Structure 1
């Protein structure tokens, strides 16, 4: 491997710093909202049950909204579409604490809208980033994005708890509304992404083109499934080993921070092998580290395994984005990132359900090992599919485009 000359210094432009502010303002509400909904409802008649239901509906909104809205993102109007989604999301975030005493169906609708309306933003904003920088800087830019994401997710739980308990139960959602509204205004300051080739026709990408990236989506879902298994089984594992469940928070925060460090380190160098190979290696190593959670003794053993898993998990995140970028033509990137975002959420949600069943039938350690095994099997299927599909299209190849309502 070889060190790059400029490191991250090449990213330190006014445009990138503005992009980072927009990204932070749009990601923070997403990271805060599920837990914020639990705290909003904890003192209501519905209690924690209503809070968990609202959080589930919010995630469902993301899963539905990301592909539905993401596939309709179009060049020339992308900033306006992202801004509209963020603004509607901000209104829904702000309405939730105001209507906290309303009937449950009202709250469920607001939670769904809050998740669905801005769900295309992660993919759209990532697409803006990759068009802002030169091709040789894209891996570093995506590493910087992953670092920012993990820092946000590490800080969000503590911020929600502080605001909900010290200020007001609805304060985290109000902050989320303000941040989303700020992002909806600042997004117009970003450059409107344009095609590399002026002869390309700006239109919505066909369904067939998007679906051709399914091996990458599948691996991404597998990675999120493994992460969900580790996160959701961790409290039960601590209790099973007669350790305080309160350690769950610090351990998961450490995992997120380790992921931020791993993403930052990935962008420092050019690594050998294709991004597809790198992704499979990172995923296998992450699976091994997650398995160590069940084998290493005591709290220090669990902490070491989670920290190592976090470092390599970030490599999976970055290389999956790079793989999707290589596999699909450039006009499909914004939509494809949104589809992958939805698939990851679906993988996490399905794993949460399966984990609950597994914990009723087996020990926490067995549940984690079962999740890792399923992840590795999915990874093998995805690797075979990627290898057998031939050379992926590049951004330089022509793309047959159709309107959003066209079939494959």
Structure 2
């Protein structure tokens, strides 16, 4: 399929699911990732209820988040080597540890189970992206990755909501039991995506690159990802703090919801057609545009003025993350797509967490406006990393992903 033959608009998104392997992978990934978005709040609520201490509960959540991010690339490499069926094994281990979390009564026990559950979390998002770049023609890949970014936005809204409702109606442990079941179900549903070949067959007969070499190849785009998601974390805290400054803390959730809405709209627009240029060229446009959108948030004088600006500021988020995923695909060595996207996911998680932590200090010391300006400045500054990206993959790497013309 060439750029001229590729469908446009909504038909392009329908074309994403024409391949049954993508349909199974998407269904499994959404199911399992729903569990992963429920987990943090469910863990916090369960920890507070069991330990009667938010600090201890926060330590449990931090352990889970940290080891999930750090362990994902290693698990991704094993998935590339063994195939997607190994996802079920990791899901079973993580699910069993999650059941342990739901029943443990001590801080030590909960932290230990959190570590096991996190490090064995199946990288379903990375595996889905690997399936996309492996089986879909290039003109459709951007649409698929855009849908993935949009789905991520939705899941991060739905997941905490489900956790809160389950805790209110039943108990936090019920949400954790549900997470274990959803994670295992998602891995099982993912298996048919392996039909017709396994991602690791591309490496047959070759000495595999060590993970440090994969990391070195991806380092520039991972640095961009970390910086961008850092700014997203800063925006989340700064917008909440700005609402508090206006004596309207209850509006913070709605403001962030409008931001997510803008991101969803932008992601659908970006994935609906071919855009001139390469992903590198798109990054040079998207990052400054995002920075300007973030800077505009600092100009709002009240909550009402903030709502349309939040939509505007969100328009570039999903396209930028989609573009970064395309850059990861273009830099990944052959047969190491899942590991590469697991590094991408780890960078996303660590960048966002660091942004939230730093923004808290900035807002406390200065103001919410200072946080907004910091996010805008860093987003624009990230463009200096674009020229460092490889113009094409090294020998034996994945083909360069470019926008068809």
SS at structure 2 position matched to 1:279: helix
Larger mean Cα displacement after TM superposition, 191-200 or 170-179? 191-200
Pairing 1:186–2:189 present: yes
Q: Which residue of 2 aligns with 1:68?
A: 74
Q: Which residue of 1 aligns with 2:244?
A: 239
Q: Which residue of 1 aligns with 2:392?
A: 392
Aligned counterparts of 2:80 and 2:34: Cα–Cα separation in 1: 25
SS at structure 2 position matched to 1:71: helix
Aligned counterparts of 2:27 and 2:292: Cα–Cα separation in 1: 35
Aligned counterparts of 2:92 and 2:60: Cα–Cα separation in 1: 20
Q: Count how many residue pairs are aligned between Structure 1 and Structure 2.
A: 390
Aligned counterparts of 1:341 and 1:367: Cα–Cα separation in 2: 24
Whether the aligned pair in 1 keeps the contact of 2:221 and 2:328 (CA below 8 Å) is yes
Whether the aligned pair in 2 keeps the contact of 1:153 and 1:256 (CA below 8 Å) is no
Larger mean Cα displacement after TM superposition, 141-150 or 43-52? 43-52
Q: Which residue of 2 aligns with 1:217?
A: 222
Instruction: Report the CA distance shift for 1:240/1:326 in structure 2 as closer, same or farther (over 3 A).
Output: same
Q: Which residue of 2 aligns with 1:256?
A: 260
Identify the match of residue 293 of structure 1 among 278, 291, 297: 297
Q: Which residue of 1 aligns with 2:271?
A: 267
Pairing 1:381–2:390 present: no
Pairing 1:339–2:337 present: no
Aligned counterparts of 1:356 and 1:270: Cα–Cα separation in 2: 39
Aligned counterparts of 1:26 and 1:8: Cα–Cα separation in 2: 22
Q: Which residue of 2 aligns with 1:56?
A: 62
Aligned counterparts of 1:203 and 1:26: Cα–Cα separation in 2: 32
Pairing 1:46–2:44 present: no
Q: Which residue of 2 aligns with 1:364?
A: 368
Aligned counterparts of 2:147 and 2:53: Cα–Cα separation in 1: 39
Whether the aligned pair in 2 keeps the contact of 1:355 and 1:367 (CA below 8 Å) is yes
SS at structure 1 position matched to 2:80: coil
Counting only pairs closer than 5 Å after superposition, residues 5-404 of structure 1 correspond to structure 2 as: 5=8, 6-13=11-18, 14-75=20-81, 77-99=82-104, 102-118=105-121, 120-191=123-194, 193-194=197-198, 201=205, 204-206=208-210, 207-243=212-248, 245-377=249-381, 379-386=382-389, 389=390, 391-393=391-393, 397-398=395-396
SS at structure 1 position matched to 2:194: coil
Instruction: Report the CA distance shift for 1:233/1:92 in structure 2 as closer, same or farther (over 3 A).
Output: farther
Whether the aligned pair in 2 keeps the contact of 1:85 and 1:121 (CA below 8 Å) is no
SS at structure 2 position matched to 1:320: helix
Q: Which residue of 2 aligns with 1:405?
A: none
SS at structure 1 position matched to 2:256: helix
Shift of 1:362: 0.6
Shift of 1:321: 0.8
Shift of 1:196: 10
Larger mean Cα displacement after TM superposition, 154-163 or 2-11? 2-11
> Per-residue CA shift, 1:70-90, capped at 9, x if unaligned?
233334x22132222222122
Shift of 1:151: 1.6
